[in-house]
Amino acid sequence: MAERVDKPELVHQLARRLDRDDETVAEIVDGFLEEIYAALKRGDSVSLRGFGSFYVRAERHSWVFKFNPSQRLRALFGGRRPTVGRCELRGFSVHRVAPDSEVICHN
């Protein structure tokens, strides 16, 4: 399995790329994520050209979180969509997904 890049490392790499300090870039990343959370909370989808789209849909007893990758992102994986099925997230808070939330996937 590939190594994970966590948020502090991502901030550091972005800061180096932009020739900025980590603290400034961390504020920008935090603001960016807060805007995505707010849009999803309102029921809006979020589309990032060249990356993909995110949306949330309420179902009877759970929320369904979807990510639709862009053509560019799919091309990195041979142009195939991963077949992971639909995922439900239990323990969802309206503002954020808690790290200890349970994810259940259906094929």
| Lowest-confidence segment of 10-14, 15-19, 78-82, 101-105 by average pLDDT | 101-105
| Lowest-confidence segment of 19-23, 54-58, 75-79 by average pLDDT | 75-79
| CA pair distance 95, 92, nearest whole angstrom | 8
The answer to whether residue 94 scores a pLDDT higher than 70 is: no
Residue in 98, 102, 107 with CA at minimum distance from that of residue 61: 102
pLDDT in tens, 34-61: 999 999 988 899 999 999 999 988 888 8
Domain segments of the chain as ranges: 1-44, 45-107
| Lowest-confidence segment of 15-24, 43-52, 55-64, 98-107 by average pLDDT | 98-107
| CA pair distance 69, 79, nearest whole angstrom | 10
